[in-house]
Amino acid sequence: MPDRSLLVADPRAGYLALKAEIDAAIHRVLESGTYILGDVVERFERAFAAHAGVAHGIGVHNGTDAIHLALRGLGIGAGHEVITVSHTAVATVAAVEMAGATPVLADVEAATLTLDPQMAEALITPRTKAIIAVHLYGHPTKLDGLRALCDRHDLYLIEDCAQAHSARYHGRRVGSFGHAATFSFYPTKNLGAMGDAGMVLTGDAELAQRLRLLRQYGWDVPQHSVLPGWNSRLDPLQAAILEVKLAHLDAATTQRRRLAHVYDEAFAGLPLKTPVEDAACEHVYHLYVIRLKDRDTRDALRTWLADRSIMAGIHYPQAVHQQPAYQGRMRTGNMAVTEQAAATVLSLPLYPELTDADQARVIDAVRSFFQHHP
Ligand X SMILES: Cc1ncc(COP(=O)(O)O)c(C=O)c1O
Task: Tell me which residues touch ligand X (CB under 6 A).
Answer: 62-64, 88-89, 91-92, 134, 160, 162-163, 184, 186, 196, 198
Give CA 243 to chain center in angstroms.
19
CA distances from 15 to 194, 353, 369 (A): 9, 10, 33
Q: How far is the CB of 363 from ligand X (least distance, A)?
A: 26
Based on CB atoms, which residue is closest to ligand X, 272 or 345? 345
Q: How far is the CB of 135 from ligand X (least distance, A)?
A: 8
Based on CB atoms, which residue is closest to ligand X, 61 or 302? 61
Based on CB atoms, which residue is closest to ligand X, 62 or 297? 62
Q: How far is the CB of 98 from ligand X (least distance, A)?
A: 11
Q: How far is the CB of 71 from ligand X (least distance, A)?
A: 13
Based on CB atoms, which residue is closest to ligand X, 84 or 297? 84
Based on CB atoms, which residue is closest to ligand X, 282 or 366? 282
Based on CB atoms, which residue is closest to ligand X, 309 or 322? 322
Classify 264 as helix, strand or coil. Answer: helix
Q: How far is the CB of 160 from ligand X (least distance, A)?
A: 5
Contact 93, 81 (CB under 8 A): no
Strands 180-184 and 198-202: antiparallel
User: Which strands make up the sheet holding 198-202, listed edge to edge?
Assistant: 56-60, 198-202, 180-184, 156-160, 128-134, 81-85, 102-106, 331-332
d(CA 361, CA 374): 20
Q: How far is the CB of 1 from ligand X (least distance, A)?
A: 34
Q: How far is the CB of 165 from ligand X (least distance, A)?
A: 11
290 sits in which H/E element: strand 288-291
Which residue is at the shortest CB distance from ligand X? 63
Which one-letter DSSP state was computed for residue 2? P
Contact 55, 83 (CB under 8 A): no
d(CA 20, CA 295): 44
CA distances from 295 to 203, 279, 298 (A): 43, 29, 5
Based on CB atoms, which residue is closest to ligand X, 91 or 335? 91
